[in-house]
Structure 1
């Protein structure tokens, strides 16, 4: 009886410790702030390039002159529940104004100006353009749509943004001025706001990572069921689809190596199925490298740059912050190696970026960030 009681007590204590560690991880500090910023810059810039690229054809795709007329779009909205600000008016001047505002919104979101507000506006832009001509794109905007909705929840403007620069300058000025004494209520309210923002951000990053895992896992399992993927001929048929041959000569050249095509097909299935299971070890780095090559091949050989770009950017969520903080050091070393001597910034600790943790909690007391976001 004593042994059973001791076992129950041990299990109970272990569960409490696990729950406490998970709660501390969720609330102590926002995780993967650099990865969130990479997602913001990546998707904002990708959609901006997409809008600029389609600028000559904007009327045929989304405007009043589109074959998918506003009346047809409204009928579809009645069935799907979608909506679009582009259908508020059928005036051409209104459409041109919406297009210019979409370009401005994507630019400001990429730069990280008033990111909280711009993330919501950017999500409205992506939803509106996606819903207006849902059958006109290659499907890559589906992932962009999901990601921009998730990014609304994250603190994606804390790094590499105009907001971060403004926050640095404000803190530098505040450090030289006397600090006002806050009431106990104001301090508690501020702590509650910081905790809520941290929890929402961490949950948003977790949802993004889970979405990418689901995409790869389901795609790999779906391929396993296909006879062409099992036979190693799936990529051969894909290379011979006229609809996905931006450079037919290049597709035919690659198609002349059937053994290589079969091996790449098997490797693709293996990597996609294994992806969710390798995220917490170093094996994820070669897997991400293989996926990078796969998406670049899809973009070049099949002419799907929007889809490939969206997937490559999504993979960035699994790279830890120490990877992104190492990039400037790598750049300085490369610049010194080729003879360039960039100006060295004065960085007092991590003074070049806002602190992730709350001021009253020492950074050493925080749990380490979960690898892979």
Structure 2
């Protein structure tokens, strides 16, 4: 016992990682970084509403798309949703009891009631697209889309599902702040008010107004983020699902799709495209690559060419496979990823193109390439005789060198 040696404690120089683990500066840095990130996220949600133009584009796009869809199916409305449908209201009610869905179309078997619901759906889609009383119209539009979707759920496809989801998400957004009748009414009201001072509010009323503004901003921003996440999830899951199939891996998936009679609106065009197997293989691989990579390219400039290629892909699906509703729903959904500065630039670009169209490349009676040279001298007085009008400067002789006058200073 007396000969046993007491082990010496390990030196701090031999274990630098332990000292670093207990270093308070590192913990403070991590804490500060987390606090800054949380502050940035809170500022993003509460400072100002984001993507107001994108939300308006979604409102206009889905309102117009559903309006065109209802008008296209107007001759067949009774067989799809009405009392004459093979899927009777009794069968629909049995399905609703199992799935939890509901529809205002099965509240009555009357033909007059169905026609009233159909006209209401048309008017609601048009008013929602125009942005008239957008807050109320967005709720009514969601009810209309949900009711028609649930009434004949076995006749829907991916495009109908996406329109249903987007109609529910748009209820949360302030999609009537731009390019709407509501925005026009607010501008006219502000112009009539002019520089009149705002009425004085009490402290409690001002607090309630600020809380309401913050709540609307937070709900709108969350709705926009949910829409973006939904589109990312849709593209990513579709791409990962395609990778599992041997036809997409072999580059022959589009070949089989083009030869299905159900997806041949123009058989001659489908057979013409199918004659180029290399193009079919490249399009198959490019489709999978873009869908898988889509969620990862949204935070850089690479998203612009990706969105352009996806636009061409959806147009090809609409033309070659005869799925215009699905393609239109996807094209409108992609618009949420374009910044507001892009949409704000479009009207200026349109006005600039309109001015160029009106004026033309050159004015009549003027040589092409000659610019307008303003007259020199004092401005002309209105109604003055021609003798008092300032004369245009004489054309200078470019062959004679100019002589700079000598100044009085050395």
Q: Give the drift of 1:138.
A: 3.4
Q: How far apart, in 2, do the equivalents of 1:265 and 1:340 lie?
A: 46
Residue number in structure 2 paired with 1:73: 92
Mean Cα deviation higher: 136-145 or 192-201: 136-145
Q: Give the drift of 1:9.
A: 1.0
2:80 paired residue among 40, 47, 61: 61
Q: Give the drift of 1:139.
A: 3.2
Q: How far apart, in 1, do the equivalents of 2:224 and 2:133 lie?
A: 20
1:223 aligns with 2:242: yes
Q: Give the drift of 1:72.
A: 1.1
Unaligned runs of 5+ in 2: 1-18, 361-410
Partner SS state of residue 338, structure 1:
helix
Q: How far apart, in 1, do the equivalents of 2:255 and 2:76 lie?
A: 32
Q: TM-score, normalised by structure 1?
A: 0.90
Greater relative contact order (CA < 8 Å, ≥ 6 in sequence): 1
Residue number in structure 2 paired with 1:253: 272
Q: How far apart, in 1, do the equivalents of 2:85 and 2:318 lie?
A: 26
1:5 aligns with 2:47: no
Q: Give the drift of 1:264.
A: 0.4
1:312 aligns with 2:331: yes
1:336 aligns with 2:361: no
Q: How far apart, in 2, do the equivalents of 1:37 and 1:330 lie?
A: 19
1:28 aligns with 2:71: no
Mean Cα deviation higher: 136-145 or 270-279: 136-145
Q: How far apart, in 2, do the equivalents of 1:19 and 1:257 lie?
A: 53
Q: How far apart, in 2, do the equivalents of 1:303 and 1:79 lie?
A: 33
> What CA deviation, in whole Å up to 9, does each residue of 1:89-133 have, x standing for no partner?
000000000000000000100000110100000000000000000
Residue number in structure 1 paired with 2:396: none
2:283 paired residue among 256, 259, 264: 264
Partner SS state of residue 23, structure 2:
helix
- State how many pairs are aligned: 341
Q: How far apart, in 2, do the equivalents of 1:231 and 1:279 lie?
A: 28
> What CA deviation, in whole Å up to 9, does each residue of 1:289-332 have, x standing for no partner?
11101110110011110000000000000000000001011112
Find runs of 4+ consecutive structure 1 residues off by over 4 angstroms: none
1:201 aligns with 2:220: yes
Q: How far apart, in 2, do the equivalents of 1:176 and 1:65 lie?
A: 60
Residue number in structure 1 paired with 2:191: 172
> What CA deviation, in whole Å up to 9, does each residue of 1:149-173 have, x standing for no partner?
0000000000000110111122223
Q: How far apart, in 1, do the equivalents of 2:192 and 2:208 lie?
A: 24
Is the CA contact (8 Å cut-off) linking 1:84 and 1:131 kept in structure 2?
yes
Q: Give the drift of 1:137.
A: 3.1
Residue number in structure 1 paired with 2:120: 101
Q: TM-score, normalised by structure 2?
A: 0.82
1:239 aligns with 2:252: no
> What CA deviation, in whole Å up to 9, does each residue of 1:319-364 have, x standing for no partner?
00000001011112222332369xxxxxxxxxxxxxxxxxxxxxxx
Is the CA contact (8 Å cut-off) linking 1:239 and 1:302 kept in structure 2?
yes
Q: How far apart, in 1, do the equivalents of 2:264 and 2:60 lie?
A: 29
Q: How far apart, in 1, do the equivalents of 2:359 and 2:310 lie?
A: 33
Q: How far apart, in 2, do the equivalents of 1:340 and 1:76 lie?
A: 63
Q: How far apart, in 2, do the equivalents of 1:322 and 1:340 lie?
A: 27
1:89 aligns with 2:108: yes
RMSD between aligned alpha carbons? 1.2
Residue number in structure 1 paired with 2:156: 137
Partner SS state of residue 279, structure 2:
helix
- Radius of gyration: which is bigger? 2
Residue number in structure 2 paired with 1:52: 71
> What CA deviation, in whole Å up to 9, does each residue of 1:20-47 have, x standing for no partner?
1111111000000000000000000000
Q: How far apart, in 1, do the equivalents of 2:249 and 2:358 lie?
A: 52
Q: How far apart, in 2, do the equivalents of 1:22 and 1:142 lie?
A: 30
Mean Cα deviation higher: 310-319 or 5-14: 5-14
Q: Give the drift of 1:7.
A: 1.0
Is the CA contact (8 Å cut-off) linking 1:232 and 1:265 kept in structure 2?
yes
